[in-house]
Amino acid sequence: MRHLLLIAAALSMVPGLAAAQSIDPKVQARIDRILKSTPLIDGHNDLAEQLRENYGMSVDGLSSGTDKRPGHPLMTDMERLHQGHVGGQFWSVYIPSEVTGDHAIRDTLEQIDIVKRFVKAYPNDLELARTADDIVRIHKAGKVASLIGVEGGHQIGGSLAALRQFYDLGARYMTLTHFKNNEFADSATDDPKYHGINDFGRTVIDEMNRLGMLVDLSHVSPETMRDALDVSKAPVIFSHSDARALADHPRNVPDDILQRLPANGGVVMVNFYLGHLWEPYRQWDANHSAEEALLATLYTGQPAVRKAKLAEWEHAHPAPTTGVGIIADHIEHIVKVAGYDHVGLGCDLDGIPFDGAPPGMNSVTGYPLLFAELIRRGWSDENLSKLAGGNLLRVLRKAEAVAASMKSEPPATARLQPIDPNDVWR
């Protein structure tokens, strides 16, 4: 019964953002004007992961939230993308860190295929973008410019050839790590292995610069962030991260890194997940995980008992929540340290739980609420435009310029392991 109630509650949030109706009409008109002239570009959405895990890789039924069958409601569909004024979206092609080598390359190709299939299935709503100019053109046509982000360096399987092929297929950023360290860089959520990036990792970044692929530092350790900033010739991005000074989660960006962004030109795209935004929720989430681990030990082999006991704990310890202001707080902290030119949006929708975002922000319709809050705080149209997508367009154009300056350099051929002359396939 509790499961059904949770589903019903989640579904009640799917169709859109009722709270958006409370935005003052004059404020809403101002938001509409800003987002018509500047595309709102979100750095990270996990729709492809949801379609793989819960819908058999099918891209059917994405016209509106009411099209999807109950059980695993989505935060994203075509109707709501337009309601939220989304002008550009990086679709994550995530695979777990545990999948490595050739299997990682295959699974990433399957995820890219999901993105390409839903872009093709909804031609009136989506169009694949490869350049900053493409984003502007597609947005002006009233569609959502669709780009691809590879969410972990493990996904190239140690192969720079795979990196190049992902770029040719449309990938315009790669996150250097995910939850675990990989062959060349340390993750924020793993014990240090290299204390940053190794020599192969430096070659990976240089090859990304040569291609024009953005270096994404979400999920990486502070040491990896520092090394990447030392190495990259192009601006970096944090596709879905928050400010560590406000919430001490290892996934967030420390102030010393924010201080380096003006020199690099990069941008932090703020995440909507309360576990990264707000200490009370982060503590609750840790306690929830601890309870799950305890129940797994106490009731091994009794999944029904574990489920019932966890439901009892959740009833006694409901998840705390807070309003959209917490997102604005992180945005303003990044602005305070790095400046208005170095902040954007990367909300991680369809990659976070429904109760893991502030009310109204668990759908792609929620962006106007955030803009209304920032307008209440006195933000100018110019700075709201930078936040929406202006900063990301600048970063992408600079990366394209760096790639053009490196066009005479040959593709990198470094390998993780020495080549055996008797085995040409290694």
Active site residues: 44, 46, 151, 178, 219, 240, 348
SS3 43: strand
Residue type at position 1: M
Tokens standing for 203?
């070659």
List Cβ neighbours of 338 (8 Å cut-off, separation of 6 or more). Answer: 258, 259, 261, 262, 268
List Cβ neighbours of 266 (8 Å cut-off, separation of 6 or more). Answer: 217, 229, 235, 236, 237, 238, 342, 395
Beta-carbon count within 10 A of 401 CB:
12
**206 contacts 412 by C-beta, under 8 angstroms:** yes
HSE, side-chain direction, 13 A CA sphere, residue 128: 19
**296 contacts 289 by C-beta, under 8 angstroms:** no
Separation of alpha carbons 329 and 214, rounded Å: 26
